[in-house]
Structure 1
Amino acid sequence: MNTKTNYQRTEYPRPQYYRESWQNLNGIWKFAFDDQNEGEKNHWYQNPNFSTDIQVPFTYETEASGIGEQTFHPYVWYHRSFQIPEKETEKQVILRFQASDYLTKVWVNDSYIGSHAGGNSAFSFDITNAVEGTEINKLVVKVEDSHSCIQPRGKQRWTDENFSCWYVQTTGIWQTVWLEFLQEKSIENVKITPDLDANSVAFDYKFKGKMEENDIVETTITFKGKIIRQFSFAPERSTMHMETDLLTDLSEWKIHTWSPENPNLYEVTFRMKTDGKLTDEVTSYFGMRKISIKDGQVLLNNRPIYQKLLLDQGYWPDTMLTPPSDEAMLEDIEKTIEMGFNGVRKHQKLEDERFLYWCDKKGLLVWSEMAATYEFSDTAVDNFTKEWLEIIQQHYNHPSIITWVPFNESWGLPNIFTDKQQQAFTESIYYLTKSIDPNRPVIVNDGWEHTISDIITLHDYEESGSAFIKRYGDKDRILGNKIPHDKKKYAFAQGYEYNGQPVIISEYGGIAFQDGKGWGYGNQVASEEDFLHRYLDITNAIKSIPYINGYCYTQTTDVQQEVNGLLKKDRIPKIGLNKIKAVNDTIV
């Protein structure tokens, strides 16, 4: 292989739901392009004689994969062998993919296992009946991708070349692949819902296998090693709901809340026992925090919070959308905090769960945004809805996620301003999201042309602070749809109106230094002095508008041809981090 750096992803991929019995399948696989789509017809899954090596989970477009070819190939194949450890041979074998883009098909020992459509959500297959004990097992994966704009693709280009702020596509496996070994009965999932006002937490359990009278589920909640609560129950059906209060005399605070200043996490262990014998054990965690809206403000734990966010697209030079390591994710998070921001808007990307884990640990707020389609049709609605539903359920337990953002800038909804059908689609996604998660705000069509939305977010790359103040000084003109908020787009789609929601400028800035090649928003600056003058001017202008509750600066890092990051692609700061922090900390 000819990798620039030998990147490896060896960490447990899902720290929010950890088991000890697992096997990492990242590493060197065999790989092949199949541009004529002849592999299935010719039974490549039976004789995968692929000659190229690829480092999973990095896609063939990346340098880290060992291939580094950015030409689009619609059909790609992977092959590797694996063995089941002897101690796990009597258990069920679950094959898990954290993400693979876009249609993934799987064969084990020549048997077709199944498929999954969607490039951002995790998925799994029970391969127990296809594996052969401790023998060498053959795993073959085919991934189909396309330039289609009716599949959620985010910032991936659908042409042969990059353009504007759309980048090289991501094809195939791009997050960790792994095996998990389970008993016939196990705890499939636990949805954790904190209720700060009641000082309690609710657990919604989902079990795999037939529950019987001799089965017991134990739950132990601890904080920094001290047991806060323990309870057990006999599951009467495949799903159960349990609640417990968390008030304790072990701490003078009685309860520990989660916030950017104090990202306290409760640890929780779930155990299933049959006739007293342990059959499953999962460790997790949760944060006691509340997101709410009152009187035109966003509240965190019943107190107003002014959000200072960075637009974060999560790209790295050698690995693109796949984070190269835990250390790389931590570097981005820590530098974001060091610059005085309290959160990120994860733009057009559903981030690696380990990134969310570190945000939970470090106290960085996250707006979780769906990858967009770029056309509207029945099929696009179907593709989007299925994947979005999976994502909400999978990421629900992360306390750092405080906002859901299913749509951005009318992408995939080109006529939403007047089209009742497209408007109805956004309403359906809003209510679908609320049916799974009634506790987080949902932003519908971030940027402009809102339909129903818990927060009104506006994008404006105005360079002059005085011009910004003049435009936004009259709240009724902007939010009454009397003028376009950014000279082009209105705040609301026709038929919708402002109902007192919080207002946030969720994209602004985008200031780029002159480099003769890349681009940013508006005029590029020639010096650090010019940058800081414009940055301070426009940021202070936003802060000076009383009804605006926060902002999101574009962006964390340079990304491919886009050079408006506060950090370069290699994460070297363009401006002293303390100087950016000083602007964020300025009180206007």
Structure 2
Amino acid sequence: MTAHVTPALAPSQDARKRMTLDGLWQFKFESDADWRSTNVPSVWQSEFADLRDAFGKGVYRRRFSLPQDWADRDISLHFGAVNYFAEISVNGQSIGTHEGGYLPFTLSIPSSVLKAENEIDVSVTLPSADATKYPQFPFAEIPHGKQSWYGPLGGIWQSVTLEARDASHIKHATANADLASGAVRFDLDLSAAAVDAEVRVLVHGPDGALEVTGKGVGRTLSVVVPRVKAWSPETPNLYRADISLSVAGAIVDATSVTFGFRTIETRDGQLFLNGAPLYMRAALDQDYYPEGICTPPSLEFLEDQARKAKELGLNTLRIHIKVPDPRYYEVADRLGLLIWTEIPNVQTFTDASARRMRETMEGIVRRDGHHPSIIAWTIINEDWGTRTVENADHRQWLAETYDWLKALDPSRLVSDNSACFPNFHVKSDLNDYHYYRSVPERREEWDDITKQFAGGAAWTYSGLGDAQRRGDEPLIVSEFGVWGLPDPSKVLLKDGSEPFWMETGATWGDGVAYPHGVQKRFRSLHLDTVFKDFGSFIEAAQWYQFANLKYEIEVMRAHPTIVGYVITEFTDVHWEANGLLDINRNPRVFHDQFASINSDIVIVARPTAWSAYAGDVLEVDLSVATGGASIPDGATIRWTYGHDGERVLPTTAANAVASVGVVPMQMPDTDANRTLHIEFEVLSNGQRLATNVLDIALYAKRSRANLPSIASKDPALRAFAETLGYPIAEPERADVNLVHALDESDIEAMRHGARYFVIADGSVPTHRNLRTDIPAGEKLYREMTIDERDMPVGIDQQLPGIGLIAREGTLWRGDWIANFSWIRRDGAFASLPGGPLLDLSFEKVVPHHVMTGFRTFEYAGPVHGGLVIGWVHKPAVTIAERRVGRGNLVATTFRLTNAAAGTDPVAAALFDAMIATVNQSK
């Protein structure tokens, strides 16, 4: 691999003096009349509430004086990063400009400009989308990443330093290290005065001991390190090269660079790190922080989050379309995390924006290429900024940029376009793809997409005749996940107030991503009658997130052709609440348990159903995925739940799946419905290699005694009820009438006291309500014409006043922003196993429709089941009671007749509970 160092970022020695300019500066925004104080490094959006969304120009100013021992040296000013266009002057004299928001730059200060007391002005322009105001660099044509999601970021957001150095100095150094031979070639960029200076290199090993030295004259110097120790997440061995420059026997400049020996490659559909199989267990990290937004609070903060990542079982973080503070990579190097880094995207593809993306990538490689933790680059994310589906020129640029980047840095993998439907790859080292589904709502879709992807689906590459697909690119699901929610009390500011981002997100997901007021919405919907309190709801939402990730990881691990995944995401980012940690890096409730399903060896238990009756035999397809590890000879898998068992596992290589086969499991007897935990462990010579748990909703045998009578005009419904043991009667004598939809005769019957159970599962066409007989817009009683058009009647105006809407094509569908679907566990529903939120045991009956037309007060009683989206928005109903005349009904959108009567315990239990509810109501 290649190691690089920017000397101004490396540890200084006596030959080079440094002074930090971090701290308080004066600041004036273009709209300000007066100066105010600000911290550097920071962005003005994090410092000032009135500039939270501000594009434009801000001026930073501070004074400094030089130490006396800096006399007769070259003085330079170094910036870690400034977003976006910086104009720098000292004592009123311009010393240079810089365009680009993510990379370091250094400017020399002429001695003629310097005084005893000096003043620096840094004018920073963050352009808006107004191309008439910013014709040189409108926002859409600059690399900006997720500023388009979470808000603009303008200012000096990384450290500023003054540096005194000799006229003979090292401008830049690279170290090309070869793992196989131990050879390291140092390439130096020297100042003009240093061309004939002597260069000396001392290479220290991971333990600090001197390994090898070398010296010479010129810009290239090579050494061979004996007995090389490879760098990996498990053994993050780092070497340090101290590089000095001498003139006439005296050291005039010195710097240091750390590097590691490691290789990353692909072949035969696999990833290999240092020649050993690698299974990528990654999370997407957007590199946002609770107060500084893009500026990390401290090195210790970065170390803490890296340790938490490893506690979660992660071995990789994918830095998402952002160039982080260089300390991020330094921590990853030391603590052992692999990194996949991306170019920040543009919005509009032009010659200028394409040039800026390449220049940014070249600068990333120059600044960060010495970090052994970085193993992969991404050029484009999800076709953002390009239009590969429609534009052949963009596809050609993508392939050419892949070739250019591989030539620039052959030591790392490159993804040309980290793709999602409908875009694709053109030429790439990785066949990675993004897709989101939630379970149990979209379990079958997740399974189907994953099966297609694992089988090498054609849709991941261009089908337009220009794909350069080798066929053995490793398959990685590089984005997937689902929302949980953070505990708002844990992200409050020190003064107890809400962070500013709680009032962002309103324009995303039709408003469901807006956090502010979440507790008020929770209370107004009387969800404290469903969950014990708001804290219990947050905990349940996080366990729902875990259940989704667990299921989806296990499905991927069952396919040996998939060799990695990237969870969205490592931490919450403002309103986007799908992190494994919240934005303050507080763990989710499942933190300590997560590594059991996010490790090399994972037990995959796939039952034929997630519910069963006591005494039944449940078949479980059991396998063990190995990831980057292997299963040794003689290892066993054991399960415990009252009826225990054990099997010997076949010896299995890395990145494979050892099939145990279908195991019949006898369900224990039970008098009451409960959740059965089946615990699994893989053992080898007394050592536990893996554990996992399979939860089954265990139901007691149904009682058929004293069931109310049922009438139904629908033969299929009548047969369904009869199979469940309900006596069948004529409508006028039945306790409950069972229908899929209502007509005028049903409404009339309820007016006279009839009870109805409506299974509104969409199997019978209606007019977006529960009625089959009244077309949408029919004038029921009074005519009204407006602008020569008949005034339509709303869907909730026809009795019983309930709308019926298909979830498909709406935010109620359940994909990325989670639907939190619940049943209040009281009354006839109290015996259902599990918590209020739906789990996998409901997967056969999950509603494909929701009901509307309910007021908030009804959630305290008549509404027994429903859902909310994201930060408790867009409530909808899945089970509810309603009075009609002297009668009443219970309506549900659960698909209770989806399976044969009596074969699904959940469907039968829900059917029984709803019949009991409507029969008991008055």
- Which residue of structure 2 lines up, in the alignment, with residue 201 of structure 1? 184
Task: Give the 3-state SS of the residue equivalent to 1:406 in structure 2.
Answer: strand
- Alpha-carbon RMSD across the aligned residues, in angstroms, is 2.6
Alignment partners' CA distance in 2, 1:14 and 1:212: 17
What letter corresponds to residue 19 of structure 2 in structure 1? Q
Of the three residues 310, 325, 328, the one matched with 1:352 is 325
Alignment partners' CA distance in 2, 1:409 and 1:504: 14
- Which residue of structure 1 lines up, in the alignment, with residue 432 of structure 2? 457
Inter-CA distance 553–476: structure 2 relative to 1 (3 Å threshold): closer
- Which residue of structure 1 lines up, in the alignment, with residue 631 of structure 2? none
1:204 Cα deviation (Å)?
1.3
- Which residue of structure 2 lines up, in the alignment, with residue 179 of structure 1? 162
More displaced, 86-95 or 339-348? 86-95
**Is the CA contact (8 Å cut-off) linking 1:77 and 1:140 kept in structure 2?**
yes
1:216 and 2:198 matched: yes
What letter corresponds to residue 141 of structure 2 in structure 1? I
Alignment partners' CA distance in 1, 2:475 and 2:120: 50
Inter-CA distance 13–327: structure 2 relative to 1 (3 Å threshold): farther
What letter corresponds to residue 568 of structure 2 in structure 1? T
The 5-angstrom pairing of residues 484-563 of structure 1 reads 490-492=460-462, 494=464, 495-499=466-470, 500-513=472-485, 526-563=540-577
- Which residue of structure 2 lines up, in the alignment, with residue 153 of structure 1? 144
Unaligned runs of 5+ in 2: 129-138, 489-501, 514-536, 604-624, 626-922
- Which residue of structure 2 lines up, in the alignment, with residue 86 of structure 1? 68
1:115 and 2:97 matched: yes
The 5-angstrom pairing of residues 11-410 of structure 1 reads 17-20=10-13, 21-35=17-31, 51-62=35-46, 65=47, 69-132=51-114, 135-147=116-128, 148-157=139-148, 166-211=149-194, 213=196, 215-223=197-205, 224-235=207-218, 240-247=219-226, 254-410=227-383
Which is higher, the Rg of structure 1 or of structure 2? Answer: 2
Alignment partners' CA distance in 2, 1:79 and 1:211: 34
1:515 Cα deviation (Å)?
8.7
- Which residue of structure 1 lines up, in the alignment, with residue 907 of structure 2? none
**Is the CA contact (8 Å cut-off) linking 1:265 and 1:285 kept in structure 2?**
yes
Alignment partners' CA distance in 1, 2:246 and 2:416: 44
Alignment partners' CA distance in 1, 2:388 and 2:195: 51
- Which residue of structure 2 lines up, in the alignment, with residue 9 of structure 1? none
**Is the CA contact (8 Å cut-off) linking 1:265 and 1:361 kept in structure 2?**
yes
**Is the CA contact (8 Å cut-off) linking 2:339 and 2:376 kept in structure 1?**
yes
Map Cα deviations across residues 311-342 of structure 1 (whole Å, 9 max, x no partner): 11111121101101111111211111111100
1:429 Cα deviation (Å)?
2.2
What letter corresponds to residue 559 of structure 1 in structure 2? V
Inter-CA distance 89–123: structure 2 relative to 1 (3 Å threshold): same
1:13 Cα deviation (Å)?
10
Alignment partners' CA distance in 2, 1:514 and 1:82: 44
Task: Give the 3-state SS of the residue equivalent to 1:188 in structure 2.
Answer: strand
Inter-CA distance 324–340: structure 2 relative to 1 (3 Å threshold): same
Q: Choose between structure 1 and 2 for higher RCO, CA contacts under 8 A separated by at least 6 residues.
A: 1
- Paired residues in the alignment total 534
Of the three residues 370, 392, 400, the one matched with 1:420 is 392
1:470 and 2:448 matched: yes
1:477 Cα deviation (Å)?
6.5
1:128 Cα deviation (Å)?
3.2
Inter-CA distance 573–476: structure 2 relative to 1 (3 Å threshold): closer
Alignment partners' CA distance in 2, 1:212 and 1:561: 54
- Which residue of structure 2 lines up, in the alignment, with residue 434 of structure 1? 406
**Is the CA contact (8 Å cut-off) linking 2:379 and 2:416 kept in structure 1?**
yes
**Is the CA contact (8 Å cut-off) linking 2:7 and 2:256 kept in structure 1?**
no
Inter-CA distance 400–520: structure 2 relative to 1 (3 Å threshold): farther
Alignment partners' CA distance in 2, 1:303 and 1:14: 34
**Is the CA contact (8 Å cut-off) linking 1:198 and 1:245 kept in structure 2?**
yes
Map Cα deviations across residues 178-202 of structure 1 (whole Å, 9 max, x no partner): 1121100111111122211222222
Alignment partners' CA distance in 2, 1:434 and 1:118: 23
Alignment partners' CA distance in 1, 2:338 and 2:153: 26
Alignment partners' CA distance in 1, 2:573 and 2:160: 26
**Is the CA contact (8 Å cut-off) linking 1:263 and 1:362 kept in structure 2?**
yes
1:436 Cα deviation (Å)?
1.9
What letter corresponds to residue 137 of structure 1 in structure 2? N
Alignment partners' CA distance in 2, 1:584 and 1:479: 25
1:435 Cα deviation (Å)?
2.5
What letter corresponds to residue 444 of structure 1 in structure 2? D
1:283 Cα deviation (Å)?
1.7
Task: Give the 3-state SS of the residue equivalent to 2:51 in structure 1.
Answer: coil
1:573 Cα deviation (Å)?
1.2
Map Cα deviations across residues 357-379 of structure 1 (whole Å, 9 max, x no partner): 01110111111111100111122
**Is the CA contact (8 Å cut-off) linking 1:511 and 1:520 kept in structure 2?**
no
Task: Give the 3-state SS of the residue equivalent to 1:386 in structure 2.
Answer: helix
1:67 Cα deviation (Å)?
5.8
1:386 Cα deviation (Å)?
2.0
- Which residue of structure 2 lines up, in the alignment, with residue 445 of structure 1? 417
1:218 Cα deviation (Å)?
0.3
State the TM-score, normalizing by the size of structure 1: 0.86
Map Cα deviations across residues 183-238 of structure 1 (whole Å, 9 max, x no partner): 0011111112221122222211111123455x210000111232111110012xxx
**Is the CA contact (8 Å cut-off) linking 2:179 and 2:228 kept in structure 1?**
no
Alignment partners' CA distance in 1, 2:407 and 2:319: 23
**Is the CA contact (8 Å cut-off) linking 1:370 and 1:406 kept in structure 2?**
yes
What letter corresponds to residue 38 of structure 2 in structure 1? I
1:497 Cα deviation (Å)?
4.9
More displaced, 380-389 or 318-327? 380-389
1:475 Cα deviation (Å)?
5.2
Inter-CA distance 492–515: structure 2 relative to 1 (3 Å threshold): farther
**Is the CA contact (8 Å cut-off) linking 1:186 and 1:280 kept in structure 2?**
yes
More displaced, 511-520 or 342-351? 511-520
Alignment partners' CA distance in 2, 1:303 and 1:33: 54
Map Cα deviations across residues 491-546 of structure 1 (whole Å, 9 max, x no partner): 43632153111111110113324999878999999444433322210011111122
**Is the CA contact (8 Å cut-off) linking 1:330 and 1:358 kept in structure 2?**
yes
Inter-CA distance 581–86: structure 2 relative to 1 (3 Å threshold): same
Inter-CA distance 474–145: structure 2 relative to 1 (3 Å threshold): closer
Inter-CA distance 67–279: structure 2 relative to 1 (3 Å threshold): farther
1:305 Cα deviation (Å)?
0.5
Map Cα deviations across residues 435-471 of structure 1 (whole Å, 9 max, x no partner): 2211111111112411111111100112345533333
Inter-CA distance 153–92: structure 2 relative to 1 (3 Å threshold): same
What letter corresponds to residue 455 of structure 1 in structure 2? L
Inter-CA distance 527–520: structure 2 relative to 1 (3 Å threshold): farther
Alignment partners' CA distance in 2, 1:401 and 1:130: 42
**Is the CA contact (8 Å cut-off) linking 1:101 and 1:120 kept in structure 2?**
yes
